[in-house]
Amino acid sequence: MSKIEMKTPLVEMDGDEMTRILWKYIKDELLLPFIDLKTEYYDLGLEHRNETDDKVTFDSAYATQKYGVAVKCATITPNAARVEEYNLKEMWKSPNGTIRAILDGTVFRAPIIVKGIEPCVKNWKAPITIARHAYGDVYKASEMKIPGPGKVELVYTAEDGSTESVLVHEFKSAGIVQGMHNLEPSIESFARSCFNYALDTKQTLWFATKDTISKKYDHTFKDIFQDIYDAEYKEKFEAAGIEYFYTLIDDAVARVMKSKGGFIWACKNYDGDVMSDMLSSAFGSLAMMTSVLVSPSGVYEYEAAHGTVQRHYYKHLAGEETSTNPVATIFAWTGALRKRGELDETPELSAFADKLEKATIDTIEGGQMTKDLALITELKDVTVLNTENFIKAIRATLEAM
Ligand code: NAP
Ligand code: MG
């Protein structure tokens, strides 16, 4: 059998711990036998980040800008314990943060739906994708404890020295205060990423804030989305048969619970943080959540939503058997391969990505799965496989197809 050819390389960002082990199994069993895989390889494993003073992370992001599509393995974000464990020169920053700052994107997270792993919300039949604005608001806020009676004001000082101020509160007692901000260019690129992704995946887009209460702050988000939609996307959405609509955040939450799914829900930073955890647990498992960073210029970086599954890695190192779920990492590869196929006009590559996804889902629906899924499935008589054998089972399904 001849292998599928690729025109342009994918940017491949290798990672850490158990997901690094999965990465190699997936390539060896599910990709290399079928594709003449072309990648530009960047080792974002913590040891190599440390050796290169984290330059490799920056280089991988620049390569993503150059080639347009990347696939990333989960990576350790160092904390004090990791600095000691890996004898690091510095507490290197989160690679995802670095990459996001360079590509300036929005992260879209969507669950992988499998029969037998039913969402807690019984009317959800299709995935709900969360688009979280990843800049500002409460995550970049300044806060103060107010010790006793007194006045708090917000003051803006322009470059020419002129000022504008607004009273926050006349305190009669001790209290607390918070000042937060966002930037029009950041909200604009968030909006464009959402509109582009909706067109790309042919799904309706919802956006919600609390503009009735926050008449300047949240209202600006609402206005920016509407202005960009009317000027740049309205006709394209109509042609694609999809919709954009704005509603209040509380109305959105109520409607999401009653919906069938199958749309994108754009959220401000805090709402996205909270709602993505609600959705991933309600859909079943973090190990079944995909994640893609889409830049406003149309660059894509695919990954799994979960981390490096450290606990399983230590078992693996101790020679014990693991049953780590590779599905989200497989779907990171298929997402990247499908996009590469679309951009390069190599439909065989996109068709292979579809087949590998189907083989993965069919394997689970046929009753073979990892332990995390076996614990929550409604299927009877399931076979729990270890990490390597589950990937081999997917290969067998794929070959039979
Ligand atoms: P995690 O790796 O997502 O794992 C947390 C727990 O969730 C695991 O211990 C496991 O539960 C379960 N789990 C997650 N993925 C699974 C999978 N594929 N198969 C089976 N079970 C899975 O989060 P963490 O332990 O908090 O973080 C570990 C490291 O990952 C940290 O160093 C963190 O910095 C990094 N991280 C990276 C990213 C990224 O690169 N995008 C994201 C998050 C965290 P049981 O142990 O109960 O089986
Ligand atoms: Mg969260």
Three-state secondary structure along 167-229?
EEEEECCCEEEEECCCCHHHHHHHHHHHHHHHHHHCCEEEEEECCCCCCCHHHHHHHHHHHHH
- Ligand 1 atom closest to the CA of 309, numbered from 1: 2
Torsion from C-alpha of 80, 19, 43, 58, nearest 10 degrees: -60
Q: Is residue 178 predicted with pLDDT exceeding 90?
A: yes
CA of 305 to the centre of ligand 1 (A): 9
Torsion from C-alpha of 234, 238, 240, 241, nearest 10 degrees: 130
Protein residue closest via CA to atom 24 of ligand 1: 307
- Summarize pLDDT for 153-176 with one digit per residue, the tens: 999 999 999 999 999 999 999 999
Q: Which ligand has the shortest distance to the CA of 272?
A: 2
Q: Which ligand has the shortest distance to the CA of 274?
A: 2
Question: What percent of the chain is modeled with pLDDT above 90?
Answer: 87
Residue 97 pLDDT class (50, 70, 90 cuts): confident
* pLDDT greater at residue 37 or residue 104: 37
Q: How many CA atoms lie within 13 A of 246 on its CB side?
A: 19
Mean pLDDT of the region 31-42: 98
Nearest-CA neighbor of 232 among 203, 200, 191? Answer: 191
- Summarize pLDDT for 101-116 with one digit per residue, the tens: 888 878 999 999 999 9
CA of 291 to the centre of ligand 1 (A): 14
Residues with CB under 5 A from ligand 2 (ion): 273, 277
Protein residue closest via CA to atom 36 of ligand 1: 307
Ligand 1 binding pocket (C-beta < 6 A) is 74-77, 96, 286-287, 303, 306-311, 324-325, 372
pLDDT value for 298: 85
Q: Is residue 283 predicted with pLDDT exceeding 90?
A: no
Strand partners, 290: 110, 304
Instruction: Give the CA distances from residue 170 to residues 10, 148, 269, in Å, rounded to whole numbers and listed in that order.
Output: 57, 10, 29
pLDDT value for 216: 96
Strand partners, 206: 245, 265
> How far from each other are the two terminal CA atoms of the chain, in whole angstroms?
14
Q: Is residue 220 predicted with pLDDT exceeding 90?
A: yes
CA of 110 to the centre of ligand 2 (A): 15
Looking at the chain, the number of H-run helices and the number of E-run strands are 15, 16
- Summarize pLDDT for 336-393 with one digit per residue, the tens: 999 999 999 999 999 999 999 999 999 999 999 999 999 999 999 999 999 999 999 9
Cα gap 71→245, rounded to integer Å = 31
CA of 278 to the centre of ligand 2 (A): 9
C-alpha 72 chain-centroid distance? 11
Q: Which ligand has the shortest distance to the CA of 130?
A: 2
Q: Which ligand has the shortest distance to the CA of 139?
A: 2
Q: Is residue 54 predicted with pLDDT exceeding 80?
A: yes
Nearest-CA neighbor of 31 among 370, 280, 332? Answer: 332
CA of 97 to the centre of ligand 2 (A): 15
Q: Is residue 28 predicted with pLDDT exceeding 90?
A: yes
- Ligand 1 atom closest to the CA of 310, numbered from 1: 28
Nearest-CA neighbor of 328 among 372, 295, 286? Answer: 286
* pLDDT greater at residue 1 or residue 145: 145
pLDDT value for 296: 81
Protein residue closest via CA to atom 16 of ligand 1: 287
- Summarize pLDDT for 286-299 with one digit per residue, the tens: 889 999 999 888 89
Q: Which of 286, 290, 320 to mutate to test the pocket of ligand 1 (most atoms within 8 A of CB)?
A: 286
Nearest-CA neighbor of 331 among 308, 355, 303? Answer: 303
Q: Which ligand has the shortest distance to the CA of 278?
A: 2
45-54, 73-82, 296-305: the lowest-pLDDT one? 296-305
> Residue 308 gets which letter from DSSP?
-
- The answer to whether 233 and 96 are in contact (CB under 8 A) is no
CA of 276 to the centre of ligand 2 (A): 7
Q: Which of 306, 331, 387 to mutate to test the pocket of ligand 1 (most atoms within 8 A of CB)?
A: 306
CA of 269 to the centre of ligand 1 (A): 22
- How large is the C-alpha radius of gyration of the chain? 23
φ, ψ for residue 40, nearest 5 deg: -105, 115
- Here the tokens at position 296 are 């406003």
